[in-house]
Amino acid sequence: MTGLRRDNLPTAQMRLVDLFENWSAGEFDPSNCPVRGILDRLGDKWTTLVVIVLAQRPHRFSAVQRAIPDISKRMLAQTLRDLERDGMISRQVYPTKPPSVEYRLTELGQSLLDPLVNLITWAEQRRPNIEGARAAYDASDRA
Amino acid sequence: MTGLRRDNLPTAQMRLVDLFENWSAGEFDPSNCPVRGILDRLGDKWTTLVVIVLAQRPHRFSAVQRAIPDISKRMLAQTLRDLERDGMISRQVYPTKPPSVEYRLTELGQSLLDPLVNLITWAEQRRPNIEGARAAYDASDRA
DNA sequence: CTCCATGGTCTAAAATTGAGACCACGTCTA
DNA sequence: TAGACGTGGTCTCAATTTTAGACCATGGAG
């Protein structure tokens, strides 16, 4: 019940309602939702950070590691592999001794930068709100 | 070497370069980066999905669970608690028997919808590219 | 009396992640 | 000539996180 009144709804919300209805219509299998499969990867804790680093300029494996000191080699290798598989970055091997490998954003990877910057900008702008809310919550008895 | 030429750089990338330089300037401690703390939560695998569900309308605990069948109660409870702590959703208890609890987006939560929709739109538009890249990668010997 | 639904918590098992050793190779230093 | 170092990783084992599902108190319906 309580159908949704779509008038007076902000644009983003309306869009989300539409999306959700479409998903639900096609017997929405959340674990099969393609958008979710993509969003999941972005939420990988390391993925966005690596993309931001590669947005500066192409990096070699160990340069990325230096830029993100607290990533383990294991996860860095995996993150880079996943990003390459998704076509977001390219991997170029130079046959020097020892061989060096350069990772760089593809056009697809570049195209992620716009929405990513939007999100970061939002996080920056809303940071005071969020930190305030956290402090208030922690000060209350629920903490 | 290869300092960055900032002319001819797309806007988003330039912005990211600036951000990164600011971060690095202040002896960038990635584990202390506030924006990262916020982005980490959004990448929580369940967080965005819950936000999308609550963007439709307020939901009760079990309604959210029905909307996202493959989330465990434990993680749903935790995700909702974290979102409440961050001031993104509000929790309203109605003293019915048994008591029911309603979760709804706050203004802060609503404000996330815009960047979130951008990201989802990007994912939708680029889905063919990404799936194509995945198929190509898996078909190659690296798989 | 029994079953259902409410909003969770708790425990044990499964999955993911992290720390760090290890590798082959060549080059630089002593 | 012997070590040590840097390259881009992989491998193993331990620590952390997530999941599945039992459980709880309450009250209403049958």
Residue B87 CA to its chain's centroid (Å): 15
A64 Cβ neighbours under 8 A, 6+ residues apart = A50, A53, A54, A71, A76, A80, A103
At A1, the pLDDT band (50, 70, 90 cuts) reads: very low
CA of B97: nucleotide with nearest C1': D27
Out of B48, B115, B137, closest to residue A118 by CB:
B115
Judge contact between A33 and A20, C-beta under 8 A. no
Interface check B77 vs A, CB under 8 A: no
E strands, chain B, in order: 59-60, 89-94, 100-105
Decide: helix, strand or coil at residue A45.
coil
Peptide bond into A98 cis (omega under 30): yes
How far apart, in whole angstroms, are the C-alpha atoms of residue B108 and residue B16?
24
In chain B, which residue's Cα lies nearest the Cα of A69? B30
How far apart, in whole angstroms, are the C-alpha atoms of residue B90 and residue A10?
19
At B84, the pLDDT band (50, 70, 90 cuts) reads: very high
* Mean pLDDT across A131-142: 89
Whole-number pLDDT of residue A30: 54
At B133, the pLDDT band (50, 70, 90 cuts) reads: very high
User: Which of B117, B123, B112 lies closest to B42 in space, CA to CA?
Assistant: B112
Spanning CA of B94 to C1' of D27, the rounded length in angstroms is 15
Q: What are A69-93's pLDDT values in tens digits?
A: 899 999 999 999 999 999 999 999 9
- Decide if pLDDT at B100 tops 90: yes
Yes or no, beta carbons of A49 and B42 under 8 Å apart = no
How far apart, in whole angstroms, are the C-alpha atoms of residue B50 and residue B80?
8
Whole-number pLDDT of residue B34: 72
- Decide if pLDDT at A12 tops 80: yes
At A25, the pLDDT band (50, 70, 90 cuts) reads: low
